[in-house]
Structure 1
Amino acid sequence: MQVNKRHQVSPYLVFFIVYNSQVGVGILGFQRTIAAKAGYDAWMGVIVAGCFVQVFIWIMYKLLGKADGDIVDVHSKVFGNILGNVLSFIIMIYYWLASVSVLLGFIEIIQVWMFPTLPSWILCSLILVLVYYCVSGGFRVVVGVSFLSFLFPQITLIVLYIFPLKTAHFSNLLPIMNHSYKELFDAVKSSMYTLAGTEAFLMFYPFIRDPKSSKKFAHLAVLFTTFLYTVSAIVSFTFYSESQLKEKIWPELSLIKIIRLSYLERFEYIYISMYLVIVSSLLSLLLWCSTRGLKRIFKKKQKYFLIVISILSVVLSQLINEQYKETLDKYVTQMNLWIFYGYIPILLIIFILLKRSKQNG
């Protein structure tokens, strides 16, 4: 699929897109989840998960490079238009459900920490208006917001790890490797979903100018986010005991509460407000992927799907309570693992075999 050059972005911007796709609300609470699987050895699971994501990046480049298009093109070439569109539709639904999961997670944080009486639909509507504005501007606008989410506020937020390190107890990490391989594998699985997001690459690949030269930037982005998540886990593990961590739903937010400045006491309010930039950029990327795919499948304007999906997201924000949200998160996690780390590698093998058979024939 050919994309007009004026809609494409430079290869180095792939770093910021991949970073944006991986860093969301998950980093605020994943420490408790992985520690429940493998205790304070779980930081090693983050590194192993990062290695798996690096392999997945290589697989996606290989698959999309051979198809010279996005995942919709791959499915059409392998399975034909009808079955191919059905499979592509499933992936577009995943992108949408993933965006709903991120949105509801951030709304829950706002309601717990800042505005407990504010209805979900108001918060959801306000955030989606901003996201609609970004997505309707096109892919280059989405990439611009991704760049801003890295430059501001994430660089500033990384520096804030210095404060909890002042009272850190690195002895909490000892002894190393005192958990079974099964427990470590469970931590890897949990970390892989936390590091998820690179699958958005399956849709924006054609919008990269000279995709081959962008490969190194994609791998560097995954390396950086793996380092970021590993540092976040280690900082939390050295600050909290295991019994304390079990009681913290969002360990990183609780860490921010220790910051006291002479002119500011509740720094977490600013932290959460700044995080809106990060969440909005991630939602913009996921909804762009979903609506772009639906546009290609059904041959209708992208803005129509964006409006429908936004309305459905607001409705779901009202219907889904905490129990159903946990179920949604569970299904999104399973879809991510099975579709992208199981199905996509198999699809690459099938695509290579079909291409070889056509050449030999």
Structure 2
Amino acid sequence: MSPIHIFFVLYVSLVSVGLMNFQYKMLHGAENDGWISIVIASFIVAGVIKMMYVLLGRQSPTQATLVHINQRYWGRYAGSIINWIFMLYFVLGSSVAFLSYVHIVQLWVLPTQNTWLISLAILVIAYYCVAGGIQSVTGMCLWGTLFILVLVFPQIFLVSSYLHPRNLLPILDHDASSIWLSTRDMLHEFIGCGILLVVYPFIRTPERSIKWAYAAVITATVVYLVFFTFAFMFFSHGQMKEHLWPTLNLISIIEMPLIQRMEYLVLSFWLLKMLAIITLGLWAACHCLKLERSIRPTLGLRFAVVIFVILILIIRDTNQIEMMTEVYMRIGEVLIYMYLPLLFLFSLFRINQGQFSPTKDTTNSADKGDEE
């Protein structure tokens, strides 16, 4: 991977399916002051990313992976337990994105159709991409990012004439607890940044990629801010409470020649974004499994696909998906915002740690076999 590729990988991880309804969650906290929470959350995530770069940069070239770091600092057995937790976390994140997207398509596009066909199609494409290795997954992240930023994001500005800026007033009208409640919700949207711990060894000259990682955080923050301000300027607070998917409701009012339901087009393009998220999480889990137990990634991938099929049969309604999403968010909150800073601090006081300067040869020769 070139350093610039980390921009696409992190952007896909930071902007997930939550973009469709994160404004609705703001009603339980900062409401129209939610833009403050978005900015605060972005600074916290940027700090966590800096910690990960420092942590990974202090490892030897062949040991700069999540699996090896956990085993080195906590021992073989405790480290293995933590690695398995991360693997399950990555699979859970992919399954949440998969089920959420299929559920949205069923509600908005195919309310009377069975979702088996689209579910199987997504799984087949995801399996093909993950089996192609990190380069195929990165390519999917590239297209998922470009299609959203170039074809979907500009469409939101077509509703500018319907906006009411007064809806954002009064500014700074909420206390610190309300601001923090919404900040915590936004931090949940950013928990995908932990994928950096897995893709880092594949980056050529990783020390040059940190600027692209920050660029991904800035881009994601701008996207969230635009969708937040437009939604709150279009809907009143009372109207917002009646719309579970504010982003889709906002896009649905756009009218263009030959296209009367713009949200159908957006959801179609959004499939590339969801495929990128699904494949990235599955690849991370399979790669960690390979390093932890020397199991071929394709075997782990097949097992994950079976899990997905079982989830399709079990998870049926919105409440179940929300419960599953809540579990994923809580686990991510502990792993990304509590465990990683703790690991970072522990690495700073590690004796005989030694810092190295990555060179062109640190592209992880041991991991190049993970192209399967």
TM-score after normalising by structure 1 = 0.94
Residue of structure 2 in register with 1:249 after alignment: 244
Between the aligned partners of 1:291 and 1:120, the Cα distance in structure 2 is: 26
The residue identity in structure 2 corresponding to 1:28 is M
**Structure 2 residue ranges without an equivalent (≥5):** 356-372
Q: Among residues 30, 35, 47, which one is paired with 2:22 in the alignment?
A: 30
The residue identity in structure 2 corresponding to 1:25 is V
Between the aligned partners of 2:80 and 2:216, the Cα distance in structure 1 is: 30
Between the aligned partners of 2:193 and 2:268, the Cα distance in structure 1 is: 25
Q: Deviation string for 1:179-214 (max 9, x for gaps)?
A: 110010000000111122111111111000111011
Q: Does 2:45 match 1:53?
A: yes
Q: Does 2:269 match 1:274?
A: yes
Residue of structure 2 in register with 1:98 after alignment: 93
Between the aligned residues of both structures, percent identity stands at 30
Q: Among residues 131, 137, 149, which one is paired with 1:154 in the alignment?
A: 149
Residue of structure 2 in register with 1:350 after alignment: 346
Within 5 A, what are the aligned runs for 1:130-169?
130-169=125-164
Q: Among residues 296, 318, 325, which one is paired with 2:321 in the alignment?
A: 325
Within 5 A, what are the aligned runs for 1:37-48?
37-48=29-40
Residue of structure 2 in register with 1:4 after alignment: none
Between the aligned partners of 1:151 and 1:326, the Cα distance in structure 2 is: 28
Q: Deviation string for 1:8-32 (max 9, x for gaps)?
A: x111111111111112211011111
The residue identity in structure 1 corresponding to 2:193 is T
Between the aligned partners of 2:192 and 2:354, the Cα distance in structure 1 is: 33
Q: CA 1:357–1:297 in 2, change beyond 3 Å: closer, same or farther?
A: closer
Residue of structure 1 in register with 2:363 after alignment: none
| TM-superposed deviation, 1:106 | 0.4
Count of residue pairs brought into register by the alignment: 351
| TM-superposed deviation, 1:74 | 0.5
Residue of structure 1 in register with 2:56 after alignment: 64
CA contact 1:120–1:318 (8 Å) conserved in 2: no
Q: CA 1:83–1:121 in 2, change beyond 3 Å: closer, same or farther?
A: farther
Q: Deviation string for 1:36-76 (max 9, x for gaps)?
A: 21111112101110111000100110111112411101011
CA contact 1:28–1:251 (8 Å) conserved in 2: yes
| TM-superposed deviation, 1:352 | 2.3
**Structure 1 residue ranges without an equivalent (≥5):** 1-8
The residue identity in structure 2 corresponding to 1:176 is I
Q: Which moved more, 1:169-178 or 1:34-43?
A: 34-43
Residue of structure 2 in register with 1:220 after alignment: 215
| TM-superposed deviation, 1:220 | 1.0
Q: Which runs of 4+ in 1 moved over 6 A?
A: none
Residue of structure 1 in register with 2:334 after alignment: 338
Residue of structure 1 in register with 2:291 after alignment: 296
Q: CA RMSD in A?
A: 1.5
Residue of structure 1 in register with 2:174 after alignment: 179
CA contact 1:195–1:226 (8 Å) conserved in 2: no
Between the aligned partners of 1:356 and 1:182, the Cα distance in structure 2 is: 42
Q: Does 2:190 match 1:198?
A: no
SS at match of 2:129: helix
Between the aligned partners of 1:65 and 1:358, the Cα distance in structure 2 is: 10
TM-score after normalising by structure 2 = 0.91
The residue identity in structure 2 corresponding to 1:226 is T
CA contact 1:24–1:282 (8 Å) conserved in 2: yes
